[in-house]
Amino acid sequence: MASIELRSVGKRFGSHEVVRRVDLLVEDREFVAFVGPSGSGKSTLLRMIAGLETVSEGEILIDGQSVARVPPAKRGLAMVFQSYAIYPHMTAAENMSFSLRLAGVPKAERDAKVREVARALEMEALLERKPRALSGGQLQRVALGRAMVRQPKAFLLDEPLSNLDAALQAQMRLELVRLHRELKTTMIYVTHDQTEAMTMADRIVVLNEGRVEQAGTPLELYNRPASLFVAGFIGAPKMNFLPAQGAEGRTLGVRPEHVRIGEGGELAGEIVALERLGARTYVHARLTDGTRLVAEAAGDTGVREGDRLAFRILPEGRHWFDGSGRRVT
């Protein structure tokens, strides 16, 4: 239950600026995802909020209070690490209750809390196991449980699903959303996977080279990307970028679902590859000027590799960007 505010926060390692003047307000109970490629500063930003990194510039406020002088454990935040960082010599229950033990909470109370959290995570049977006897997904639960036991004001999650297999990832995504709804706490989630961000977050902050490119709801980012970078980062498969005819320096962006095949279109090209996903097919084409274009077609589309076809871009799916990569409205 906390709002987290960043006021022109910056981070330098020597002369290298990793985070540059980030302003952001994470509302109470909001689920915010930081996305960006590696090196975009998203993890550093999260670690600064956690207190694991010092802040070079600006300040961070939790519930309106500056936390510049507050050590990590006293900020009331809990963090889930990419590697889970489970203590290998402690059982799952001991891992989860470690923070309470350090805080001097009596054993009976600790046990009760651990059991309560374990019930919420459906992992009561695992409590007495050592980490080496747990699978990746189970370790993930212990890490989540360890964070939940502290009843933090906000959860900080650093790529928590990246070590799980695809099926488990999808399951944990739903579970995290459920937890967020039930716990009613603020969550900040760092990921390089835009699908995770799109499916879970109330709001996405896209970071690039230490700057906020755009912050908004998943659909805002998808439908009205503010820059070429956001346009290319959000959405899979990626948005197509075509050099605009007539307007010098401008780029036309269009998502695959806004490209129609063979309806007397203005673009012509040859099919170079087909990705058949069953429900739909992604058609990869090389246009006459050499640019690549991906179009979405029906799952049972009859086109074949080598076909020469025409493509039409739907008017509502056109995104224009100027020479510096900013959106032109």
Partner 1 sequence: MTRQRHRVRTGPLMTPAVGMLLVWMIVPLLMTLWFSAQRYNLLDPGGTAFAGLENYRDLVTGRALWVAMGNTLLLVGAVLAITLAGGTLLAVLLDREFPGRNICRLLVIAPFFVMPTVSALVWKNMLMNPVFGLIAWITRSLGLGAPDFFATAPLAAIILIVAWEWTPFAVLILLPALQSLSKEQREAARMDGAGAAAMFLHVELPHLRRPMAVVAMIETIFFLSLFAEIYVTTAGGPGLASTNLAYLIFQDALFEWDVGLASAGGVVAIALANVVAIFLMRVVGRTLEAER
Residues that bind partner 1 (CB under 8 A): 50, 52, 71-74, 77-79, 81-83, 85-89, 98-99, 102-103, 132, 146, 150
Q: Which is nearer to partner 1, 104 or 246 (CB)?
A: 104
Distance of closest approach, residue 265 Cβ to partner 1, in angstroms: 51
Distance of closest approach, residue 79 Cβ to partner 1, in angstroms: 5
Backbone angles phi, psi at 61, to 5 degrees: -120, 130
What is the distance between the alpha carbons of residues 206 and 226, in angstroms, rounded to a whole number? 10
Distance of closest approach, residue 285 Cβ to partner 1, in angstroms: 45
The DSSP code for 236 is S
What is the distance between the alpha carbons of residues 204 and 32, in angstroms, rounded to a whole number? 6
Distance of closest approach, residue 117 Cβ to partner 1, in angstroms: 15
Q: Which is nearer to partner 1, 51 or 253 (CB)?
A: 51
Q: Bridge-partner residues for 146, per DSSP? A: none
H or E stretch at 115: helix 107-120
H or E stretch at 284: strand 280-287
Nearest one of 116, 110, 72 to 90, comparing CA atoms? 110
Q: Which is nearer to partner 1, 101 or 178 (CB)?
A: 101
Q: Which is nearer to partner 1, 89 or 276 (CB)?
A: 89
Distance of closest approach, residue 109 Cβ to partner 1, in angstroms: 16
Q: Which is nearer to partner 1, 36 or 160 (CB)?
A: 160
Burial class of residue 165, CB neighbours in 10 A (0-12, 13-18, 19+): exposed
